[in-house]
Structure 1
Amino acid sequence: MIRALVFGLALAVLGSCAIAPPSTSDEVQRLASEIRNLGPDIDPEEANRAARIAYAYTDQLAQEYQITDPPLIHNAKVNKGLKPRGLCWHWAEDIERRLDQENFQTLEMHRAIANADNPFRIDHSTAIISRKGETMYDGVVLDPWRYGGVLYWTPLPQDTRYDWVPREVVLEKRRLEQFGELQPYLGE
């Protein structure tokens, strides 16, 4: 009985620690500066707006997704139907969609997937913001899933935890693999 009570209390404490802290204006300004540094033709107002939205929308989504646990535990709850959303691809899709609504003239959004070819790790999706016309490899990773509703960002080359591949490349490879499996037998 006492062990069950201690276990329940420990889970409550750990769960309450997983709630995303609110972002600070200093963090927003650091991200805006990183986005401005993507190139001399980046509109400073667009960089500031993208950073503000990335942080504010991450906070909003953390509430909507009902984030109370670390990412992998939350994933299990989403997959069991206990939470509405919050898988990494949900975060990436929603952040990308929200930032695309701004119709930036000097910035562009990309999607990427890591671990797609690693059978020992789960796929991980993210959104990346770059200078208009540049590839995702020249951009900044925006990853709110990694720390459970706390926006993690870094220039893609500095994100040594993941080997990011363009989402469309991964999906095309999977489509071709699946298509190949569906081919009728034409042998003798």
Structure 2
Amino acid sequence: MTGLELRREWRVVWLPGVQNLLVNMGARKGGLCFQWATELLVRLDALKLQTLELHWAESFANTSGEHNVIVVTARG
């Protein structure tokens, strides 16, 4: 599934804060940053990249401001 397909499935709205509210209220199935990062990591990992490394990064863990992303760096 592509990012565009996920956007459609999750019915993502423009403002991330509004999307988060809708997900937390149960009005949307997905679209929180950790869900995007998880789905992106699965797809990037399947590419078996030889020159890049993938890293999970998070800020403000276990708070309402938590954010998760995939960081892509050069191997080595």
Deviations 1:120-164 (A, max 9, x none): x5101111111123xxxxxxxxxxxxxxxxxxxxxxxxxxxxxxx
State the 4+ residue runs in structure 1 displaced beyond 6 angstroms: none
Q: CA RMSD in A?
A: 1.8
Could you tell me how far apart the structure 1 residues matched to 2:19 and 2:36 are? 13
The normalised TM-score by structure 2 is 0.83
Could you tell me how far apart the structure 1 residues matched to 2:36 and 2:16 are? 11
Which structure 2 residue ranges, 5 or more long, are not aligned? none
Higher relative contact order (CA 8 A, sep 6+): 2
| Alignment: residue pair count | 75
Which structure 1 residue ranges, 5 or more long, are not aligned? 1-56, 134-188
Could you tell me how far apart the structure 2 residues matched to 1:60 and 1:108 are? 25
Could you tell me how far apart the structure 2 residues matched to 1:126 and 1:80 are? 23
**What is the CA distance between 1:89 and its match in structure 2?**
0.3
Aligned to 1:129: 72
Which one has the bigger strand percentage? Answer: 2
- Which residue among 85, 91, 96 is the counterpart of 2:41? 96
**What is the CA distance between 1:115 and its match in structure 2?**
2.1
Aligned to 1:25: none
* Percentage of identical aligned residues: 32
State whether structure 2 residue 61 is matched by structure 1 residue 116: yes
Matching residue's letter, 2:18: I
Which one has the bigger helix percentage? Answer: 1
**Larger CA Rg, structure 1 vs 2:** 1
